[in-house]
Structure 1
Amino acid sequence: MKALRTPDERFEGLKDYQFEPNYLEVDDTEGGSLRVHYVDEGPSDANPVLTMHGEPSWSYLYRHMIPVFTGAGHRVIAPDLVGFGRSDKPSQRSDYSYERHVGWMGSLVRQLDLENITLVCQDWGGLIGLRLWAEMPDRFARIVVANTALPTGDQPMGEAFTAWRTFSQEVPEFPAGRIIYGGTTSKLTDEEVAAYDAPYPDETYKEGARQFPVLVPDSPDNPSSQANREAWGVIRGLDTPVLTAFGADDKIMAGVDKVFQKLCPGAAGQPHTILPDAGHFLQEDVGPELARLTNDFIVRTS
C-alpha cells in the first residue's frame, strides 16, 4: 500500500499543541505497514483516557482537554487515525475502509496494551471506538459518547448528513480547517484553522478525509452494516458505564444521544448532558468542560 507522510515541519509551532509525537507501526493488510501517530501524556502507569477524533480533524482537537486529564492524574492516549494528523496517509481512496480503520486502531490498543480505558469518542472516533469496545470489552472501564453514533444503515441518516456527504464529494478543494470552523459555535481563529489544515500539504493527502463520509453505513446492505449490528448485540449486553455529552448546536447528531441512553445498560442513572453553546466539534467549544465532566465520571464510576 502506497502512503504519503506529512513533513514534520508542517506541525511546528502549532497553537497550544506542544505534545511530543509517538509512533507505532500497524499492518496495512497488504504485506506492508503504516506509521500511526499518537499523543501519550501523563503518568505512564495511570489508567488511560483514550480520546478518538473524527472527520476531518486529528489529535489537535483534544489539545484543550489533554491538560485537564493529565492534571487529574490520568494518562492520555490521543491517536491520529490513519489518513489524518501525523499518521500515514494511504494515497488511494480504495485503501480506506471502515473495517481497516477498526483494525488499525485495534492494533494500537493491543500494542500499547491499554487496560481500564476511559473512551472519549466523537464523530468517526465513535464509529471506530465503539466497535473496539464491542470487540474487546474487558479493556474498557467506561465510555463517553460525544456527538457520535454507531449506525447500521437500518434507519435513515437524515438530510443534514446527506447534505454534508454531497458537499464532501463535490467540493473541488476539501477545506478541512473551514469544515471544523463551520462545525463549532465559538468559531476558530485563522491560526487554529491553519492547524487543522497542517496535515494536508495538498489535495493528494486528503484521500482518507474524502472517503470517510461515504463509508458511513447508510443502507442495510452496506459492507459494515452487519458488523455494526453485531457490535450493538454485544453492547446491549454490557454494563460498562456510559455517559452521553452532546452539543446543543449539532444538527447532524441531534437526538442520537437518546439511542445510547436507551440501548446501553450502563447508561442508566448517569447524568447525561446537552452542552449549550457547543456544536459538532464540542471539544473546540467546551473542551475543558467536557474533560471535567469526564473526570467526574471516572471518579463516580471507579
Structure 2
Amino acid sequence: MYTYQEHLDKLHYYTTPEGKMAYLDEGKGEVILLLHGVPTSSWLYRKMIPLLTNSGYRVIAPDMLGYGASDKPNEYEVYSDEHMGRRLLSLMDHLNIHEWTHVFHDGGGLYTWAMLQQDPSKVKQLIMLNTIVYQEGFRPPLKFAPGRLAKVFAKQYSTSLGQKIVLIPTFKNGIDDKSVITEEMLEGYRIPFLYNGQHGLYYFFTQTCRKITDYRPLHQSLDIPLTVIWGKHDTMLVWKHLEKEVMSIFNIQPEDIHLLDAKHFIQEECPVEIAEIILNKMK
C-alpha cells in the first residue's frame, strides 16, 4: 500500500517568487514530465511513475502552485495560465532539463499551451490525456462568475464535510471502474485541500464562466508530434467534439489517437495502458 505520507516524503521543493513548488524527480534517462490538472496533483500519476522509471526514464511530476503539497497563496492572478506556464519552464530550467516529453491532463492543457506560447523549443513530443483544448469540447458541470458564490463553493474543498459534497463526487463521477476508488486513493486528493487549499480552485472555477483562451494560432504554428490518449466516456471533456479539428490542426493520424474504456481520471483506471502507449512513443 502506497500512502500519501509516503508520497510526500519523496517530494522535492523549488522556490518561485510566488511560493514553493513541490515536485517528484525519479529515475534516470530521457525525461518525461507528467502534468496534472484540477483538482489533482502529482498523486494522480503515482501508479504510472514506477512503470516509466523502471523502463529507463526520468520522471518529473510537479504539484502546480495551489495544488498538492505546493504553496497556495491567497492571490488571484498568480494562478493564471501564463504564470503557471512560466513556472513550469522555470522549474525545468532549475533542474537543468532542456528537452522532455510532455504528458498533460485536464486543466494542465491550459498551462501547457501557455508554456508553449512562451517557449515551444523544449518539448520533444506532446501526449495529451483528456485535456482542455477548445471551448467546443469543454463541458464543465458548473460555471461561476467571480464573487461570493464561487468563493463559498471553492471553500468546500477545504473542509471535511464539504469534500464529501464536492470533491469525492468529482472522482466518483469521473471514474467508470468504481473499484479503484478507495480511501487510500481519496486521501491523496483530500488532504492537500484541507489547509486553505481553495485559492487555485477559485481562480479555475471563475474562468469556466468565460470562453477559454483560443490557442488555435499557437497550435497551427507548432511542429511538435502529438499523441492523444482519451477516456472515451468522459462527459466533461468530450473527444467527439474535438476529434476532427485536433486531427486537422495538429496533423495527426488515427493511429496517434488512443481511446480508452474509461472516463475522465484515466490515470486511476488505466495506468498500465497509458504507460505502455507512452513507452512505445519514447522508442
Q: How far apart are the structure 2 equivalents of 1:284 and 1:42?
A: 21
Please state whether the residue corresponding to 1:114 is helix, strand or coil. coil
TM-superposition CA deviations, 1:166-217 (whole Å, max 9, x none): 5993646233344233211123112211221111224x32211232122358
* Residues 1:262 and 1:15: Cα distance change in structure 2 (over 3 Å): farther
1:247 matched to 2:231? The reply is yes
Q: What are the superposed Cα offsets for residues 70-115 of structure 1, whole Å, 9 maximum, x if unpaired?
A: 0110100000010000100012445432322222222212222323
Q: Does 1:198 align with 2:186?
A: no
> TM-score, structure 2 length as denominator?
0.83
Aligned AA (1:263):
I
Give the TM-score of the pair, scaled to structure 1. 0.79
Seen in structure 2, the aligned counterparts of structure 1 residues 41 and 19 have a Cα distance that, compared at 3 Å, is farther
Mapped partners of 1:234, 1:217: distance in 2: 23
Give the RMSD, CA atoms, in angstroms: 2.6
- The amino acid that maps onto 1:182 is N
Q: Any unmatched runs of 5+ in structure 2?
A: 158-162
Match of 1:275 among 240, 255, 260: 260
- Counterpart of 2:247 (choices 253, 257, 261) is 261
Larger mean Cα displacement after TM superposition, 192-201 or 75-84 = 192-201
Corresponding residue of 2:201: 209
The 3 A distance-change label for structure 1 pair 75 and 195 is same
Q: Which aligned pairs between 1:20-35 and structure 2 lie closer than 5 A?
A: 20-28=10-18, 34-35=19-20
CA deviation string 1:26-73 (max 9, x = no partner)? 122xxxxx1000000001xx2210000000001000001101110110
Aligned-pair identity (%):
26
Q: In 1, distance between residues paired with 2:111 and 2:221?
A: 19
Q: Tell me the residue number matched to 2:276.
A: 292
Q: Deviations over 1:271-291 (max 9, x none)?
A: 311101x11111111112111
Q: Which residue of 1 aligns with 2:127?
A: 144
* Stretches of structure 1 lacking an aligned partner (at least 5 in a row): 1-11, 29-33
CA distance, structure 2, for counterparts of residue 156 and residue 268 of structure 1? 21
Residues of 2 paired with 1:217 and 1:263: CA distance? 26
Q: CA contact under 8 A between 1:27 and 1:104: conserved in structure 2? A: no
How many angstroms apart in 2 are the aligned matches of 1:95 and 1:191?
A: 31
- Tell me which amino acid in the other structure corresponds to 1:25: T
C-alpha contact (below 8 Å) 1:21/1:39 kept by paired residues = yes
Deviation at 1:126, TM superposition (A): 1.3
Aligned residues: 265
Conservation of the 8 A alpha-carbon contact between 1:250 and 1:279: yes
Q: What is the correspondence of 1:106-255 to structure 2 with a 5 Å cutoff?
A: 106-151=89-134, 155=135, 160-161=139-140, 163-166=141-144, 169=150, 171=153, 173-174=156-157, 175=163, 176-187=167-178, 188-202=181-195, 204-216=196-208, 218-219=210-211, 225=213, 228-229=214-215, 232-255=216-239
Could you tell me whether the CA contact under 8 Å between 2:82 and 2:114 is conserved in 1? no
